[in-house]
Amino acid sequence: MSNAASTSKHAELAEKIISRQIGASSPAVSPDGKHVAYVVTRVDQKANKYRSQVWVAATDGSTPPRPLTAGEKRDGNPSWSPDGTWLAFTSGRSEKKGETTLCIIPIGASGEIRTIATMPDGVGSIAWSTCGKWIAFTSRTQDERYTKEDASWMSPRKIETFYSRLNGEDFVFDRPEHVYVVPSDGTIAPRNLTPGSRAHSSPSWLPDSSGMVTSAALHEGWDFDLATDLHIVTLSGDITTLTDRKGSYFQPSVSPDGKHVAFIGYDDPLTYPQNAHVGVLDIATKQRKWVSSALDRTFETTGGSVPPIWMNDGSLLAYAEDRGTAHVVRLDPTGKKSPEWVTTGRRITKGLDAAGSTIGFVASAVDQLTEVFAVVNGTERRISSLGTNSIREISPQSWEHFTVPCGSTYVGGPAEIDAWIMKPKDFDPKKKYPVLLNVHGGPHTQYGETFFDEAQMQAAAGFVVLMSNPRGSSGREQAWGQAILGRKHPVAPGSGWGDADVKDVLAVLDGALAKFSFCDADRVGMLGGSYGGYMATWLAGCHGEKFKAICSERAVNNMLSEEWSSDIGTIFRVEHGPNHLEDEAEYVRMSPVRHVRNINVPFLIIHSEDDLRCPISQAEELFVAMRLLGKDVTFYRFPGETHELSRSGSPVHRVQRAEIILDFFAKHLAV
C-alpha cells in the first residue's frame, strides 16, 4: 500500500482473482448412485462474506446440475437418507448469531425444507442411521458461561489439560464436540449421546442402527500420550472402547456387515510417523491391521481426508497424496492385494464419496477451479462447470513441473525434489523476470497440481513463481517426511528444521536459475507462511545475500516461546524429540530469530491478531528485535483474523493482504 498507482493496480488484480473463486466440496452420492449432491461456495466481495449452497446433479450427465438451496446463508454438509428420498444439510439460516440448523429437503417429490434441529454452536458430521429413523451429528456443547450476556458475567475457566484452545475456534475444552441424535422427522429435540468433558467425532452407524462408532480420547493423560481411540456408542449412551490407547485412530467407517471398522491413523502418536494409513479393525476380536502400507504415501492429506468408504465389491476407497497430486485409491480390506490408483493425472482430489458402483469426487488443477466428477462403471465424467466463467476472466497461468537433486544425501526414495515454475502473464522469452520463491507451511504438507490463487496473483503481477516440496513435505515416502525430524528424535532422528529443508529450497532456487534463462538471479524475493514463515526468517538471517526482499507470514520465529504459547503448545516434542524443558538449547538452536542481527534484506512481516497456532507474539518478537537493530522492517497486523487469513480470512482482508505483498515485492524487485 505504498504509492497510489501500485496500490490500485495490485488491489484490482487481487480482487479479481479472489472474488471470482467458486468451487465445489463435500460430494455425497445418492444410495442408487444416480445423483451426487455437493456444496458450491463463492465469494461475495461486496458483502465481505462467503456464500454456499447445496446443488445436485445426475452422475450420468443426463440432466444439468441444479441448486437445491438459495445459498444466501452458509448451507453445507449434504447427506442422503438410506432410501434416497431426503437430503439432510446444515445451514446458517437461523436468525440468532452462531446458531446452525439441521434441515432436510425432499428429493424427487414436492415439499418444503424442514428444520429438525437448531444448535447454538454448529453442526457437522451428519450421518443417517441404516434404518432411516435417526440422524446423528456432531455439535459443540457449551458450558453455562456462554449463556451470559458478556465476558464480565462469565465464571473463570479452570484449565487442566493442554490444547484448551484451538486456532479459529478459541476455547474448546468448555465446549467439547459431542455426538447428538435426532429423529429424522424432527418430532423430538436432539439428544446428546456423549455428554461430558471429552470430545467425540465422525459417527459411523452400525448396520442395525443400535449405535455408532466414533473417535475420541476418553482416557486420562490423553494430552500427554496423544492417543485417540475408536469406540462403540449405543443409542442408550453406553460406550465400549475398541482400541488400546496406544495410537491415533480417527474417521471410522463401519462395514456393511457390521463386523469391521475401517479408519485412518497410526500406531504411535509420539513418534510422529508422518504418513497416516488406512486400517481395518475386527470388532469381535478388536484386532487391527494396516491395509494401505504397501503404498508409502499419506492418507491424511493437505486438503483434508474422509473416512474410508466400503464398496459393494468388498473393497475400500480412500485418497492419498502423491508428489504434488492427490488421488482416489482402491484398497483390499484384507491387505493382501496391492493398492490401486482409481484416478490419475496432474490434479488434486479434495473430497470423495461413493455408493453402489458410482464414485463421486471433487478435484482441482492448476488452471481449473474445484469441480465435481463421477466415475460410473469405470468411466469418469466431469459433472460440473462452476468455474468456467471465472477461469475465462482470470485466465490462469499453467506451470512446468521439474525436479532437482536433493541438497544433501537422502536415502529412502528418489533423491530428487519436486518443483514447479510458473511464468508471468504476457511472458516474453527475450526478457528476464523477477522471481518469487514460495515455501509452504506444515512442514508436512505439499504444494501441487491445484489452482493456487497466490501463484496466480504473483504471476499476473509480473513475477516468475517458484514452488517446491523439500524434505519434510508430504506426498512422498515416509522417510522424506521424517527427514527433518529433530536430531534427538527417539525413533527417526533427522536433520531438524533449518538444515536439510533449507538445503533443498536453495537447491531448487539454484536449479531454477540455472535451468530457466528468463529468471533474473539479481531480482529474487522469497515468501512463506507458518512453517514457510519460519523458513523466510531463517533464509533472511542465514542466506540473505540471495534475496532482494523477503516476506514472513504467521511465522514461527522463536521455537522456545512457540512451544509454550501456541494452541498446540507441547506438540512440538513429537516433531523435535525432547520437549523445551528437557532441551531448551535445541529449541533455541532451531529458532531463526537468533540470526536477526544478520538480516540485512528488506523484510515484511504479516500476522493475524487472533492467530492461536503461531501467536502474534512471534511476529512482535521479531519486529522488536529488528527495529532495535535498525533493520529495514515493515509489520502489518490483521485484526479479527486467525492463522487461516490467506485461505479463509474475510475477502476484504485477503485482498488487502495480497495488495501489501505485491506492492512490497514490486518495489524491491523493481517490477
Hey, is 33 helix, strand or coil? coil
Q: 129 versus 272: which is more confidently predicted?
A: 129
Please indicate, yes or no, if residue 156 is contained in any of the structural domains. Answer: no
Domain-ending residue, one of 293, 315, 345: 293
In a domain, 616, yes or no: yes
Average pLDDT over residues 382-386: 97
Grid cell, residue 26, equals 463435500
Q: Could you tell me if residue 94 is inside a domain? A: yes
451 plus 348 within the same structural domain: no
The average pLDDT across 76-83 equals 98
Q: How far apart are CA 603 and CA 611, in angstroms?
A: 20
| Closest-CA residue to 212 (of 309, 310, 128, 315) | 128
Does residue 182 surpass a pLDDT of 90? yes
Q: Does residue 133 sit in the same domain as residue 265?
A: yes
Residues 213 and 331 in one domain: no
Same domain, 110 and 252: yes
Average pLDDT estimate for 412-428:
95
Q: Which three cell numbers stand for residue 398?
A: 499453467
Looking at the fold, whether 307 and 289 belong to one and the same domain comes out as: no
* 564 shares a domain with 421: yes
Domain holding 80: CATH number?
2.120.10.30
315 shares a domain with 257: no
* DSSP letter (8 states) at residue 127: E
Domain boundary among 327, 360, 387: 387
Residue 521, domain CATH:
3.40.50.1820
As a whole number of angstroms, the distance between CA 333 and CA 261 comes to 10
Question: Do 287 and 311 belong together in one domain?
Answer: no
| pLDDT, position 73 | 82
Are both 12 and 127 inside the same structural domain? yes
| Domain assignment of residue 653, yes or no | no
Enumerate residues 6+ apart whose C-beta is below 8 A from 73. 51, 91, 92, 93
Per-residue pLDDT of 433-463, as tens digits, reads 999 999 999 999 999 999 999 999 999 999 9
Are 285 and 299 within one domain?
A: no
pLDDT band at 408 (very low <50, low <70, confident <90, very high): confident
Instruction: Say if residue 1's pLDDT is above 60.
Output: no
Distinct helix (H) and strand (E) counts, the chain = 13, 38
Look at residue 643 and tell me if it is in a domain. no
CB-based contact 331:360 (threshold 8 Å): no
Residue that finishes a domain, picked among 293, 317, 352? 293
Instruction: Give the number of other CB atoms < 10 A from CB of residue 194.
Output: 23
**Residue 57 burial by Cβ neighbours in a 10 Å radius (0-12, 13-18, 19+):** buried
Full residue range of the structural domain in which residue 188 is found: 4-145+163-293
Rounded distance between C-alpha atoms, residue 324 and residue 469, angstroms: 8
- In whole numbers, what is the pLDDT of the chain averaged over residues? 96
Residue 116 burial (10 A CB sphere; 0-12, 13-18, 19+): buried
- Per-residue pLDDT band at 2 (split at 50, 70, 90): very low
- The structural domain count of the chain equals 3
Instruction: Establish if 650 belongs to a structural domain.
Output: no
> Is residue 154 domain-resident?
no
Does 370 share its domain with 265?
Answer: no
Answer yes or no: do 289 and 317 share one domain.
Answer: no
Residue 493 is assigned to a structural domain of this protein: yes
